[in-house]
Amino acid sequence: MMVLILKKSNLLHIYLSQNQSNMHEEEKSTVDRLIAHTEEYFKTRQELSKLVAAEKTSTISSAVISSLIIFMIFFFVIVFVSIALAYALAMYFGATVYGFLTVAGLYLLAGIMLLTNKKKWIEIPFANLMIKNFFKDPDND
């Protein structure tokens, strides 16, 4: 049987080294858990960002498509009303050409007005509409 005589300082040194290795392992596991949680958080944020971008894109796309459909309907209404107005004015003036020239003059006047006020009447409202649709909260529709 072998008897080991250890000094108090040696025992303390052994105890501290074991305690430090346990603390070091606990710190490592805590750091590893923190890293794992951080990675999971960033992956979740990335997925959330993708979903939000997809939602915004689909909202804007659907607004643009529905606006185009409505525009096309009104376009055809305006074309047929213009033809009817041209024939009505032709009956008034006594010649078909004068009716169509009058309607063309009205469109020319409307085009000049739109051209001179395009920023105020078209660009700014359209930009505001797009921004409003982009930042609209879907929960508060």
* 23-35 pLDDT per residue, tens: 566 667 888 888 9
Query: What mean pLDDT is reported for the chain?
Result: 84
The answer to the question of residue 4 being in a domain is no
Instruction: Give the chain's domain count.
Output: 1
Torsion of Cα atoms, 116 then 113 then 105 then 83, to 10°: 130
Given a contact cutoff of 8 angstroms between Cβ atoms, the answer to whether 82 and 105 are in contact is no
Confirm whether 84 is domain-assigned: yes
Tell me the per-residue pLDDT of 45-74, one tens digit each, with 9 for 90 and over: 999 999 988 988 888 888 889 999 999 999
Per-residue model confidence (pLDDT) at position 134: 73
- The more confidently predicted of residues 17 and 78 is 78
- Give whole-number Cα distances, 3 to 6, 11, 13, 108, in Å: 10, 15, 19, 114
3-state secondary structure of 31: helix
89 domain residue, yes or no:
yes
Helix/strand/coil percent split, the chain, to 5 = 90, 0, 10
Residue 53 belongs to domain spanning: 9-140
Residue 3: inside a domain? no
